[in-house]
A = this chain, B = another copy of it.
Amino acid sequence: MPHPMFEKHQALLQQAVAAIESRGYWSPYAENPRVYGDTAIEDGRKAFDAYRGAQFYLDQPGVVDRGGAEVSPYGLSLDISYPQCRVDALVAAAKTAMPGWVKAGADARAGVCLEILARLNARSFEMAHAVMHTTGQPLMMAFQAAGPHAQDRGLEAVAYAWREMKQVPQTALWEKPQGKNPPLKMEKKFSIVPRGVALVIACSTFPTWNGYPGIFASLVTGNPVIVKAHPTVILPLAISVAVARQVLKEAGFDPNLVSLLIDDPAAPVAKDVAMRPEVRLIDYTGGPDFGNWLEQNCRHAMVYTEKAGVNCIVVDSIDDYQGMLKNLAFTLSLYSGQMCTTPQSMFVSREGVNTPEGVVSAEQFGHDLANAVSKFLADPARAVEVLGAIQSPATLARLAAAHELGEVLRTSSAIPHPHWPAARVHSPLILKVDVADERAYMEERFGPISLVVETATTAQSLAMAERVIREQGAITFALYSTNPLMVEHAEDAALRAGVALSINLTGAVFVNQSAGFSDFHATGANPAANACLTDSAFVASRFFVVQSRRHV
């Protein structure tokens, strides 16, 4: 008998599988706030407020203390404490929880995962406030990115993994002809066996969007998941874990299949838990240093990393110059450049930018871009709803120091937030450097820091962008060119560098946006990430196939 949660969500799962096969537009979780009801924003705020100054309830084993010291980038003190659990207790509980989950099979596990996602969807505005006041994202972005878009990514991972598991038949009849003699006949059973305990190490900017693919890909393939939250961004994952545990319990499974692990920045535990031999899967989003360490040291586990990179733009020519500037102004402003997809190094040649109105010099382009950003952010009330707040004080320090890197085309300035006087809101810094000044633009400078890099020719722009991406990694690459040959060159460069290319974005699609079920986020082919969200490679190694055969 199919599990009731599978029956409930089967149709949606089939649609999701169809979506990953066509990769057109599809989004099962509404991104329009109105769909969630007139009081959704306010209800979400109340739910969020209820966590403040309280003990977050999670009935996990091995509690030794309570921890958590989150402070909103908007200045609000959250004062929430979470259970701090012993790693060995979480690992032991995870292992104990496995057998029943494994035996339940792919359908039941997928049904439970989809029910978790449905419950998370219903709480998208509670999540929005939690994400806003931990990551600094503006509210509407936090709602979309951490709510429906993250849920899309979670479902996408479930769809890939479920399809992959279902492609293995559960049984087979093997019947080999023996000439005149009766055939040899065997009955074979094929079982999906999970790899082991999974660890998801989440980041401080997109805890759910980047965390859900690994969580759901591991969980649906039978692996218990320990979710290690960033010390400054715990609440969004605590809510996610609590929802998952509740659904697991209701579905008749051990809630310790999903647990939350927190630590103190002064006593980090991520390395210790990653090196546990029971941990066989690690999904990581964050800085390259720790990502590279995991890749180098965790030989006992499959390691999926999304680290950092230097996203590039090459500007050659455009038939809608103002459209391009507006598009770039939004792109550079969105969440103050704190996205792994925000462009940093923009290559433009001294030969200028060809437009229908004539050639725009590289210098003029820099000023026009700076002005476009300033104009876009002229109204502070509107500006803060795009910029959000700076998540980490380290980013502020980096931003301040970056002013020295080149000629300042647009200085970064603090913007007062109408509702949150202590919010860390700062507008984008735009610099101009020469292509010879590699030190300035060839390393990632996370935050609202962009550089216009002046080259000799567009050919050089393309060559340098390719080199930056191959050496430093990138998740996005954008080209503006009306020259079909140049587009072809850029496509070839993107294939060689293994980076997603966006061409001539002048409207309401932005290079830093990646749509679930359609855009592959990262490729695994350059240093920015060793995996893609989500493709078959992201899911196929999370389980094994074990067979049993006998004569019939």
Contact = CB atoms under 8 A, between A and B. Distances in A.
A25 B500 CA distance: 42
Given A172-B23, A541-B540, A500 B535 contact: no
A269 interface: no
A296 interface: yes
Given A299-B296, A501-B549, A188 B23 contact: yes
Contacts of A518: 172, 174, 188
A551 B507 contact: yes
Interface stretch (A162-170, A306-314, A409-417, A441-449): A162-170
Chain A residues touching B, majority SS: mixed
A174 B520 contact: no
A97 to B, nearest CB: 15
Chain multiplicity (copies):
2
B536 A494 contact: no
Contact of A537 (B501, B509, B541): B541
A96 to B, nearest CB: 14
Contact of A548 (B295, B296, B503, B549): B503
Interface residues of A, number: 64
Given A520-B190, A540-B537, A499 B551 contact: no
A24 B540 contact: no
A223 interface: no
Contact of A23 (B184, B190, B491, B494): B190
A525 to B, nearest CB: 4
Nearest to A176: B25
A541 B525 CA distance: 10
A109 to B, nearest CB: 16
B551 A509 contact: yes
Contacts of A501: 546-549
Contacts of A164: 536
A28 to B, nearest CB: 14
A532 interface: yes
A58 B278 CA distance: 48
A499 B547 CA distance: 7
Interface string A512-552: 00010011100111000000100111001100111111110
A322 to B, nearest CB: 16
A375 B504 CA distance: 78
21 contacts: A21-B169, A23-B169, A23-B172, A25-B174, A172-B518, A184-B509, A186-B509, A191-B495, A193-B525, A195-B525, A498-B544, A500-B546, A503-B549, A505-B551, A520-B547, A524-B544, A535-B540, A536-B540, A537-B540, A537-B544, A540-B540
